[in-house]
Amino acid sequence: MRPSEIMNLQRKRPFVPLRVHVSDGSSYDVRHPEMMLVTNTTIFIALPPLADGVPERHVYCDPIHITRIEPIDGAKPKRSKGQRGAP
């Protein structure tokens, strides 16, 4: 996935929590935009904090290994006007 696409999702307001899936089958939740740093060669994701709110662990992902990013917490993409759902 291109870093610019990832940054667009990170900068979207209001921010929608994201699940980042990588090619080894792992996935990482990003619940706040501040928990992810995007560069051209690396995506830095802070893992959820234990108790005091400060992350103690992180992962680095190469953008080429990010297979998809999807909204979490039941967030669904909005339908376009005139689009109808299944009965």
Map residue 6 onto helix, strand or coil: helix
Contact 40, 3 (CB under 8 A): yes
Model-level pTM greater than 0.95?
no
Q: CATH number of the domain at 3-71, please?
A: 2.30.30
Q: What is the pLDDT of residues 29-52, one digit of tens each?
A: 999 999 999 999 999 999 987 677
Chain centroid offset of residue 8 CA = 10
Domain ranges of the chain: 3-71
